[in-house]
Amino acid sequence: MPNYKLSSLEMSNASCMGVCDSLKTPEIGAVAKVFVGNIRRITSTANFPAWLLNLSEHFQPVWVQARRELIGKDLLTAEDLPRWNESRLKMPKECKRVMDRPAESNFPNPLSLKWLALLAKSGIQGASFRMGFCFLNRWWPARETSCLPG
Amino acid sequence: MLSSMVVGTWTAFETLAGDLWEAAVNAHPRGLAKLVGGEHRGQKGKEDLGRMVPLERLEKHNYDVSRVMGTLERSLKKVRFAALEEIRGAYKVAFGAEVPTVCRILEDPAPHNLSTVRNLIVHKAQVCDQEYRDKSGGSTVLPQLALGAKLELDGAFVKQLTEPVAQCCVRLLQTIDAWLDNSLAVPEQGELEQGLGI
Protein backbone atom coordinates (compact mmCIF):
# COMPACT_ATOMS: atom_id res chain seq x y z
CA MET A 1 0.00 0.00 0.00
CA PRO A 2 1.42 3.45 -0.84
CA ASN A 3 2.34 5.72 2.03
CA TYR A 4 -0.22 8.51 1.93
CA LYS A 5 1.46 10.32 4.85
CA LEU A 6 -1.93 11.02 6.35
CA SER A 7 -0.47 11.75 9.74
CA SER A 8 0.86 15.00 8.23
CA LEU A 9 -2.72 16.24 8.17
CA GLU A 10 -3.02 15.99 11.93
CA MET A 11 -3.79 19.42 13.37
CA SER A 12 -3.87 20.78 9.82
CA ASN A 13 -5.47 24.25 9.62
CA ALA A 14 -5.68 24.44 13.40
CA SER A 15 -4.22 27.96 13.28
CA CYS A 16 -7.27 29.43 11.54
CA MET A 17 -9.85 28.06 13.97
CA GLY A 18 -9.52 30.99 16.37
CA VAL A 19 -9.82 33.76 13.79
CA CYS A 20 -13.38 34.70 14.81
CA ASP A 21 -12.20 35.78 18.25
CA SER A 22 -9.69 38.23 16.79
CA LEU A 23 -12.20 40.16 14.63
CA LYS A 24 -13.93 43.39 15.65
CA THR A 25 -16.64 44.01 13.06
CA PRO A 26 -19.79 41.84 13.10
CA GLU A 27 -20.02 41.82 9.27
CA ILE A 28 -16.58 40.23 8.84
CA GLY A 29 -17.16 38.05 11.91
CA ALA A 30 -20.17 36.45 10.22
CA VAL A 31 -18.11 35.67 7.08
CA ALA A 32 -15.29 34.26 9.21
CA LYS A 33 -17.72 31.98 11.04
CA VAL A 34 -18.83 30.39 7.76
CA PHE A 35 -15.22 30.04 6.64
CA VAL A 36 -14.14 28.33 9.88
CA GLY A 37 -17.14 25.96 9.60
CA ASN A 38 -16.11 25.01 6.06
CA ILE A 39 -12.48 24.45 7.04
CA ARG A 40 -13.50 22.43 10.09
CA ARG A 41 -15.66 20.17 7.89
CA ILE A 42 -12.78 19.61 5.47
CA THR A 43 -10.35 18.88 8.30
CA SER A 44 -12.67 16.40 10.03
CA THR A 45 -13.16 14.55 6.74
CA ALA A 46 -9.41 14.07 6.64
CA ASN A 47 -9.06 13.14 10.29
CA PHE A 48 -11.18 10.03 10.29
CA PRO A 49 -9.36 7.89 7.67
CA ALA A 50 -6.04 9.23 8.94
CA TRP A 51 -6.99 8.07 12.39
CA LEU A 52 -8.02 4.62 11.16
CA LEU A 53 -4.79 4.21 9.24
CA ASN A 54 -2.76 5.32 12.23
CA LEU A 55 -4.71 2.91 14.34
CA SER A 56 -4.02 -0.05 12.06
CA GLU A 57 -0.35 0.96 12.02
CA HIS A 58 -0.30 0.88 15.83
CA PHE A 59 -2.18 -2.37 15.97
CA GLN A 60 -0.21 -4.19 13.30
CA PRO A 61 2.72 -5.42 15.47
CA VAL A 62 0.29 -6.99 17.93
CA TRP A 63 -1.68 -8.59 15.11
CA VAL A 64 1.44 -10.01 13.47
CA GLN A 65 2.75 -11.39 16.77
CA ALA A 66 -0.60 -13.03 17.58
CA ARG A 67 -0.77 -14.60 14.14
CA ARG A 68 2.78 -15.84 14.42
CA GLU A 69 1.88 -17.54 17.69
CA LEU A 70 -1.27 -19.11 16.28
CA ILE A 71 0.02 -20.21 12.87
CA GLY A 72 3.70 -20.47 13.65
CA LYS A 73 4.99 -18.15 10.91
CA ASP A 74 4.65 -14.61 9.58
CA LEU A 75 3.96 -15.09 5.90
CA LEU A 76 1.02 -17.26 5.00
CA THR A 77 0.84 -19.41 1.88
CA ALA A 78 -2.18 -20.94 0.17
CA GLU A 79 -1.62 -24.13 2.19
CA ASP A 80 -2.03 -22.20 5.43
CA LEU A 81 -5.39 -20.72 4.48
CA PRO A 82 -7.68 -23.40 5.95
CA ARG A 83 -5.79 -23.26 9.24
CA TRP A 84 -5.78 -19.48 9.14
CA ASN A 85 -9.54 -19.38 8.56
CA GLU A 86 -10.00 -21.56 11.61
CA SER A 87 -7.64 -19.50 13.74
CA ARG A 88 -8.97 -16.15 12.62
CA LEU A 89 -11.75 -16.28 15.20
CA LYS A 90 -9.19 -16.77 17.95
CA MET A 91 -7.25 -13.68 16.93
CA PRO A 92 -8.94 -11.14 19.25
CA LYS A 93 -8.22 -13.30 22.30
CA GLU A 94 -4.70 -14.01 21.11
CA CYS A 95 -4.08 -10.31 20.52
CA LYS A 96 -5.29 -9.52 24.01
CA ARG A 97 -3.01 -12.19 25.44
CA VAL A 98 -0.04 -10.70 23.57
CA MET A 99 -0.84 -7.19 24.70
CA ASP A 100 -1.37 -8.17 28.33
CA ARG A 101 1.87 -10.11 28.52
CA PRO A 102 4.27 -8.12 30.77
CA ALA A 103 7.26 -9.08 28.64
CA GLU A 104 5.60 -7.53 25.60
CA SER A 105 4.88 -4.20 27.23
CA ASN A 106 6.91 -2.51 24.50
CA PHE A 107 3.93 -3.05 22.19
CA PRO A 108 1.82 0.03 21.77
CA ASN A 109 -1.53 -0.45 23.36
CA PRO A 110 -3.77 1.51 21.05
CA LEU A 111 -6.98 0.34 22.60
CA SER A 112 -6.25 1.38 26.17
CA LEU A 113 -8.84 3.61 27.76
CA LYS A 114 -6.25 6.35 28.13
CA TRP A 115 -5.44 6.22 24.42
CA LEU A 116 -9.09 6.22 23.43
CA ALA A 117 -9.80 9.16 25.71
CA LEU A 118 -6.88 11.00 24.11
CA LEU A 119 -8.32 10.34 20.68
CA ALA A 120 -11.71 11.55 21.79
CA LYS A 121 -10.15 14.82 22.97
CA SER A 122 -8.03 15.36 19.87
CA GLY A 123 -10.77 17.02 17.88
CA ILE A 124 -12.28 13.99 16.21
CA GLN A 125 -15.98 14.56 15.85
CA GLY A 126 -18.20 12.39 18.04
CA ALA A 127 -19.97 10.73 15.13
CA SER A 128 -16.78 9.81 13.32
CA PHE A 129 -15.34 8.55 16.54
CA ARG A 130 -18.31 6.26 17.18
CA MET A 131 -18.07 4.97 13.59
CA GLY A 132 -14.41 4.26 14.22
CA PHE A 133 -15.29 2.41 17.34
CA CYS A 134 -17.76 0.18 15.46
CA PHE A 135 -14.79 -0.73 13.28
CA LEU A 136 -12.70 -1.38 16.37
CA ASN A 137 -15.34 -3.52 17.98
CA ARG A 138 -15.02 -6.02 15.18
CA TRP A 139 -11.40 -6.47 16.19
CA TRP A 140 -11.81 -6.12 19.88
CA PRO A 141 -15.37 -6.70 21.01
CA ALA A 142 -14.71 -7.18 24.71
CA ARG A 143 -13.12 -3.82 25.38
CA GLU A 144 -14.77 -1.40 27.77
CA THR A 145 -16.34 1.60 26.05
CA SER A 146 -17.29 3.82 28.97
CA CYS A 147 -14.77 6.51 28.03
CA LEU A 148 -16.38 7.18 24.66
CA PRO A 149 -17.87 10.60 24.05
CA GLY A 150 -21.67 10.87 24.29
CA MET B 1 -10.23 11.84 0.44
CA LEU B 2 -7.07 13.85 -0.31
CA SER B 3 -8.42 15.17 -3.58
CA SER B 4 -11.69 16.16 -1.90
CA MET B 5 -9.66 18.10 0.66
CA VAL B 6 -8.01 20.06 -2.14
CA VAL B 7 -11.32 20.71 -3.91
CA GLY B 8 -13.07 21.54 -0.62
CA THR B 9 -10.37 23.99 0.45
CA TRP B 10 -10.57 25.76 -2.89
CA THR B 11 -14.37 26.01 -2.51
CA ALA B 12 -13.91 27.41 1.02
CA PHE B 13 -11.43 29.99 -0.34
CA GLU B 14 -13.68 30.94 -3.25
CA THR B 15 -16.71 31.25 -0.96
CA LEU B 16 -14.79 33.35 1.53
CA ALA B 17 -13.46 35.62 -1.22
CA GLY B 18 -16.97 36.32 -2.56
CA ASP B 19 -18.68 36.67 0.82
CA LEU B 20 -15.94 38.82 2.32
CA TRP B 21 -15.89 41.17 -0.67
CA GLU B 22 -19.68 41.52 -0.52
CA ALA B 23 -19.75 42.07 3.27
CA ALA B 24 -16.98 44.67 3.11
CA VAL B 25 -18.58 46.64 0.26
CA ASN B 26 -21.98 46.45 1.97
CA ALA B 27 -20.49 47.78 5.20
CA HIS B 28 -18.40 50.51 3.55
CA PRO B 29 -19.75 51.35 0.10
CA ARG B 30 -18.13 54.77 -0.01
CA GLY B 31 -14.83 54.27 -1.82
CA LEU B 32 -15.19 50.54 -2.34
CA ALA B 33 -18.43 50.31 -4.35
CA LYS B 34 -17.20 52.66 -7.10
CA LEU B 35 -14.90 49.86 -8.28
CA VAL B 36 -12.21 52.27 -9.39
CA GLY B 37 -9.25 50.83 -7.50
CA GLY B 38 -7.62 49.38 -10.59
CA GLU B 39 -8.21 47.79 -13.92
CA HIS B 40 -10.58 44.87 -13.65
CA ARG B 41 -9.24 42.15 -15.92
CA GLY B 42 -12.72 40.68 -16.42
CA GLN B 43 -14.01 44.06 -17.58
CA LYS B 44 -11.05 44.99 -19.79
CA GLY B 45 -12.21 46.70 -22.96
CA LYS B 46 -15.81 47.00 -21.82
CA GLU B 47 -17.40 50.33 -21.29
CA ASP B 48 -19.15 50.01 -17.95
CA LEU B 49 -20.92 53.22 -17.09
CA GLY B 50 -22.52 51.65 -14.03
CA ARG B 51 -26.02 52.70 -15.03
CA MET B 52 -27.63 49.30 -15.55
CA VAL B 53 -29.51 48.56 -12.33
CA PRO B 54 -32.94 47.07 -13.07
CA LEU B 55 -35.71 48.83 -11.19
CA GLU B 56 -36.99 45.60 -9.66
CA ARG B 57 -33.62 45.20 -7.90
CA LEU B 58 -34.02 48.62 -6.34
CA GLU B 59 -37.57 47.82 -5.36
CA LYS B 60 -36.38 44.59 -3.75
CA HIS B 61 -34.16 46.68 -1.47
CA ASN B 62 -36.92 49.23 -0.80
CA TYR B 63 -35.04 51.82 -2.92
CA ASP B 64 -32.29 52.02 -0.30
CA VAL B 65 -29.12 50.41 -1.54
CA SER B 66 -26.72 52.14 0.84
CA ARG B 67 -26.16 48.92 2.81
CA VAL B 68 -26.37 46.40 -0.05
CA MET B 69 -24.04 47.80 -2.71
CA GLY B 70 -21.81 44.72 -2.50
CA THR B 71 -24.77 42.38 -2.86
CA LEU B 72 -26.12 44.42 -5.75
CA GLU B 73 -22.86 44.59 -7.66
CA ARG B 74 -22.24 40.90 -7.12
CA SER B 75 -25.71 39.91 -8.29
CA LEU B 76 -25.33 42.15 -11.36
CA LYS B 77 -22.10 40.25 -12.11
CA LYS B 78 -19.98 43.38 -12.08
CA VAL B 79 -17.51 41.20 -10.20
CA ARG B 80 -17.11 37.43 -10.25
CA PHE B 81 -15.38 34.99 -7.94
CA ALA B 82 -15.26 31.75 -9.92
CA ALA B 83 -11.54 31.81 -10.77
CA LEU B 84 -8.44 33.18 -9.08
CA GLU B 85 -7.94 35.89 -11.72
CA GLU B 86 -11.52 37.06 -11.24
CA ILE B 87 -11.09 37.12 -7.45
CA ARG B 88 -7.89 39.13 -7.72
CA GLY B 89 -9.60 41.47 -10.22
CA ALA B 90 -12.62 42.00 -7.96
CA TYR B 91 -10.44 42.87 -4.98
CA LYS B 92 -8.23 45.12 -7.09
CA VAL B 93 -11.12 47.27 -8.33
CA ALA B 94 -12.67 47.61 -4.88
CA PHE B 95 -9.66 47.68 -2.56
CA GLY B 96 -6.76 48.57 -4.89
CA ALA B 97 -6.76 52.24 -3.88
CA GLU B 98 -8.10 52.01 -0.33
CA VAL B 99 -6.33 48.89 1.05
CA PRO B 100 -3.58 47.74 -1.33
CA THR B 101 -2.37 45.21 1.29
CA VAL B 102 -5.43 43.10 0.46
CA CYS B 103 -4.31 42.76 -3.16
CA ARG B 104 -0.79 41.82 -2.05
CA ILE B 105 -2.22 39.01 0.13
CA LEU B 106 -4.01 37.60 -2.92
CA GLU B 107 -0.79 37.74 -4.95
CA ASP B 108 0.65 35.09 -2.60
CA PRO B 109 1.50 31.92 -4.61
CA ALA B 110 -0.58 29.70 -2.27
CA PRO B 111 -4.01 30.29 -3.90
CA HIS B 112 -2.41 29.89 -7.33
CA ASN B 113 -0.91 26.51 -6.35
CA LEU B 114 -4.17 25.28 -4.87
CA SER B 115 -6.17 26.45 -7.87
CA THR B 116 -3.76 24.74 -10.30
CA VAL B 117 -4.00 21.38 -8.51
CA ARG B 118 -7.74 21.72 -7.98
CA ASN B 119 -8.27 22.32 -11.71
CA LEU B 120 -6.11 19.33 -12.58
CA ILE B 121 -8.19 17.12 -10.25
CA VAL B 122 -11.58 18.40 -11.34
CA HIS B 123 -11.00 18.86 -15.07
CA LYS B 124 -8.23 16.38 -15.95
CA ALA B 125 -8.53 13.51 -13.44
CA GLN B 126 -5.08 14.44 -12.04
CA VAL B 127 -3.39 13.74 -15.39
CA CYS B 128 -0.85 16.41 -16.31
CA ASP B 129 -1.72 18.60 -19.30
CA GLN B 130 -0.01 21.58 -20.92
CA GLU B 131 -1.93 24.04 -18.77
CA TYR B 132 -0.65 22.39 -15.58
CA ARG B 133 2.88 22.39 -16.94
CA ASP B 134 2.64 26.10 -17.75
CA LYS B 135 1.20 26.99 -14.35
CA SER B 136 3.53 24.79 -12.31
CA GLY B 137 6.70 26.00 -14.04
CA GLY B 138 9.06 27.62 -11.54
CA SER B 139 6.96 26.58 -8.55
CA THR B 140 8.76 25.17 -5.53
CA VAL B 141 5.60 23.48 -4.25
CA LEU B 142 4.02 21.97 -7.36
CA PRO B 143 5.76 18.89 -8.76
CA GLN B 144 7.05 19.19 -12.33
CA LEU B 145 5.33 16.46 -14.32
CA ALA B 146 5.64 15.10 -17.83
CA LEU B 147 2.61 15.37 -20.10
CA GLY B 148 0.22 12.51 -19.36
CA ALA B 149 1.79 11.71 -15.97
CA LYS B 150 -0.52 11.40 -13.00
CA LEU B 151 -0.23 13.79 -10.07
CA GLU B 152 -0.01 11.70 -6.89
CA LEU B 153 -1.35 13.23 -3.71
CA ASP B 154 -0.27 12.52 -0.17
CA GLY B 155 -0.97 14.10 3.19
CA ALA B 156 2.22 16.16 3.28
CA PHE B 157 1.60 17.65 -0.18
CA VAL B 158 -2.06 18.38 0.55
CA LYS B 159 -1.07 20.11 3.77
CA GLN B 160 1.49 22.16 1.84
CA LEU B 161 -1.28 23.20 -0.56
CA THR B 162 -4.15 23.86 1.82
CA GLU B 163 -2.62 25.28 4.97
CA PRO B 164 -1.03 28.40 3.39
CA VAL B 165 -4.36 29.16 1.69
CA ALA B 166 -6.21 28.96 5.01
CA GLN B 167 -3.58 31.30 6.49
CA CYS B 168 -4.01 33.60 3.50
CA CYS B 169 -7.77 33.70 4.21
CA VAL B 170 -7.13 34.54 7.86
CA ARG B 171 -4.82 37.42 6.83
CA LEU B 172 -7.47 38.64 4.39
CA LEU B 173 -10.17 38.57 7.08
CA GLN B 174 -7.98 40.32 9.65
CA THR B 175 -6.74 43.01 7.24
CA ILE B 176 -10.21 43.93 5.98
CA ASP B 177 -11.66 43.74 9.49
CA ALA B 178 -9.00 46.09 10.87
CA TRP B 179 -9.43 48.53 7.99
CA LEU B 180 -13.22 48.43 8.28
CA ASP B 181 -13.12 48.90 12.04
CA ASN B 182 -10.87 51.89 11.57
CA SER B 183 -12.91 53.39 8.72
CA LEU B 184 -16.26 52.94 10.41
CA ALA B 185 -14.95 54.62 13.54
CA VAL B 186 -14.07 57.80 11.57
CA PRO B 187 -17.24 59.74 10.65
CA GLU B 188 -17.74 60.50 6.96
CA GLN B 189 -17.37 64.14 5.89
CA GLY B 190 -21.15 64.56 5.39
CA GLU B 191 -21.96 63.09 8.78
CA LEU B 192 -19.37 65.33 10.40
CA GLU B 193 -20.84 68.46 8.83
CA GLN B 194 -24.32 67.36 9.83
CA GLY B 195 -23.15 66.72 13.38
CA LEU B 196 -21.57 70.17 13.58
CA GLY B 197 -24.71 71.76 12.15
CA ILE B 198 -22.91 73.19 9.10
Q: What pLDDT, in 10s, does the model give residues A42-80? A: 887 777 666 666 666 666 777 778 888 888 877 777 777
Residue A11 lies in a domain: no
Structural domain span for residue A133: 48-139
- The tally of domains found in chain A comes to 1
pLDDT of residue B142: 92
Distance, CA of B184 to CA of A134 (rounded, Å): 53
Contact at CB, A9 and B178, closer than 8 angstroms = no
Q: Are B155 and B139 spatial neighbours (Cβ–Cβ below 8 Å)? A: no
Domain residue ranges of chain B, discontinuous segments joined by + = 2-184
Q: Is the pLDDT of residue A149 over 50?
A: no
pLDDT of residue B154: 85
Q: With contacts defined as CB-CB under 8 Å, which chain A residues touch B91? A: none
Distance, CA of B154 to CA of B169 (rounded, Å): 23
Minimum distance, in Å, between the CA of residue A106 and any CA atom of chain B: 28
**CB pairs below 8 Å between A and B: how many?**
106
Residue A114 lies in a domain: yes
Residue A147 lies in a domain: no
Minimum distance, in Å, between the CA of residue B10 and any CA atom of chain A: 10
Residue A102 lies in a domain: yes
Q: Are B124 and B112 spatial neighbours (Cβ–Cβ below 8 Å)? A: no
The ipTM assigned to this model is 0.81
Q: With contacts defined as CB-CB under 8 Å, which chain A residues touch B186? A: none
What residues form DSSP beta bridges with B127? B150
pTM equals 0.67
Distance, CA of B165 to CA of B155 (rounded, Å): 16
* Predicted confidence (pLDDT) per residue in A7-27, tens digit: 677 667 777 888 888 899 998
